[in-house]
Structure 1
Amino acid sequence: MKKLTSHTSILIILFYLIAQFLPAIIISLAPTNFQTEASVYGTIFSFTLGAIVMLLLNRKSTIRNSLTLSPSLPRKSVLYWGIAGIPLVLLAQYMANLIETLLLGIPIDSVNTQNILVFVDNYPIYIIVVSIMGPIMEEFVFRKVIFGFLYDLTGGIGAAVISSLIFAFMHFDGHILLYSAMAFVFCFLYSKTKNIATPIITHIIMNTVVIVVNFL
């Protein structure tokens, strides 16, 4: 069972890495005047592939820890917490923004977010990556695999802190506290419902709201 557990986790992480680096390969093979399009559509392809594979792996998941072995809350409760998680994430973002700007002197603008908005503005189909495929993959990797693995080793708080920091650093944005705060809420939602669909719902809605608000 341990062998199967690590095998499933490794596959999820492997496809996450493939989804991250495959666009670079596609770009390198594309004509010079098609670099931007190669980046956009290559990312859509790789992220969609990664998300689908992770969803399929989850159907017959062999990952075993206290979270996966605990019974999930009913679907209605999962949906409820998925929606209720939105104001929790907004509050966490607000508090993190205050600390970053007022105490740490970090500019409120996010380079990562601005770059994404440029892509969505020029290629609206890119919203598939931002709003759906990206959140699905991130929840499987950072919550289901990393947070779940650490949960039994360090306890819920320790696992949330470590996995959230990893999540924040992986965004290469400088807003470590902001992304960590968001991820901490996602960890809470997963541990609360014992169902990875909960933070996925919140994450998808949150990213979609950010995109929509910026284009209103």
Structure 2
Amino acid sequence: MKKALSHTAIVMTLVYILAQFLPVLIIVLAPQSYQTEALIYGNIFSFTAGAFVMLLLNRKSNIRNSITLSPSAPRSTVILWGILGIFMALAAQYAATLIEIFLLGLPMGSENTQQILLSIDKYPLYLIIVSIMAPIMEEFVFRKVIFGFFYDITGGVGAAVISSLLFAFMHFDSHILLYSTIGFVFSYLYVKTKNIATPIIAHVLMNTVVVLLNLFL
């Protein structure tokens, strides 16, 4: 049977793409002396709006696959695995970092992370995107839409590879293994509980912890 993307999946993907490019339009319209502010606050607006739209779409989602059609784990289990997911993701991140440094010869620091930290240091409100809005949007698109779409076609491992690689490439960073490994963890959490809230919780908390540690330690 031919498998097609649902209306919800298509709209979520378009919202994600629009959220990426809307700040560019805002920069074009902004005065030259306010380009940086236009980029920062444009991102805050577009990602916040995008996250809320996806949350609303998810309430009446017509995405149908083996995961969404399975009963969700109880709320307490979702929260528990969401919290455990932080430690799983951090451990995976640490292991991937060691491989990248000692086997692949990549530098320890991430240019993407450094740019984010600089933005937050100068514009604290930007933390909203990094800690909450971006994780919400990414989990809906890369886990619920992309991973869910391929889950019944390639199986869990194949779907995790495809969605995690796309997740890594969208960070525009050389640390592909690092982001892909984290993507695998979030894919596992989604399958484990059959609830997209689980990887969202883990992703939000992980990003928050990593940013705060980098800012204050």
- When normalised by structure 1's length, the TM-score is 0.98
Deviations 1:107-145 (A, max 9, x none): 011000000001000000000000000000000000000
- 1:73-94 Cα offsets, whole Å, 9 max, x none, are 0000000000001111111111
The one-letter amino acid paired with 1:127 is L
Corresponding residue for 1:56?
A: 56
Q: Structure 1: 5+ residue runs without aligned partners?
A: none
The aligned runs of 1:1-216 (5 Å cut-off) are 6-216=6-216
Whether the 8 Å contact between 2:96 and 2:178 is mirrored in structure 1 is yes
The alpha carbon displacement at 1:4 in A equals 9.3
One-letter identity of the residue aligned with 2:15:
F
1:8, CA displacement in angstroms?
Answer: 1.1
Question: Please, what TM-score do these two structures have when normalized by structure 2?
Answer: 0.97
Aligned partner letter, 2:182: M
Q: Identity, % of aligned pairs?
A: 68
Q: How far off is 1:40 after superposition? A: 0.6
Question: Is the CA contact (8 Å cut-off) linking 1:82 and 1:202 kept in structure 2?
Answer: yes
Distance 2:145 2:48 in 1: 19
Q: CA deviation at 1:211?
A: 1.1
Q: Distance in 2 between matches of 1:199 and 1:60?
A: 19
Counterparts of 1:188 and 1:70 in 2: how far apart (Å)?
15
- Cα pair 1:5 1:62 within 8 Å, conserved: no
Amino acid of the residue matched to residue 169 of structure 1? F
Per-residue deviation at 1:44? 0.4
Q: Distance in 1 between matches of 2:91 and 2:27?
A: 38
The CA deviation at 1:42 is 0.4
Matched-pair contact (CA < 8 Å) for 1:4–1:63: no
Unaligned 5+ runs, structure 2: none
Describe the shift of the 1:98–1:4 C-alpha distance in structure 2 as closer, same or farther (beyond 3 A). Answer: closer
CA root-mean-square deviation: 1.2
- CA 1:177–1:117 in 2, change beyond 3 Å: closer, same or farther? same
1:214: how far off?
Answer: 1.0
List structure 1 runs of 4+ shifted beyond 6 angstroms: none
C-alpha displacement of 1:5: 5.4
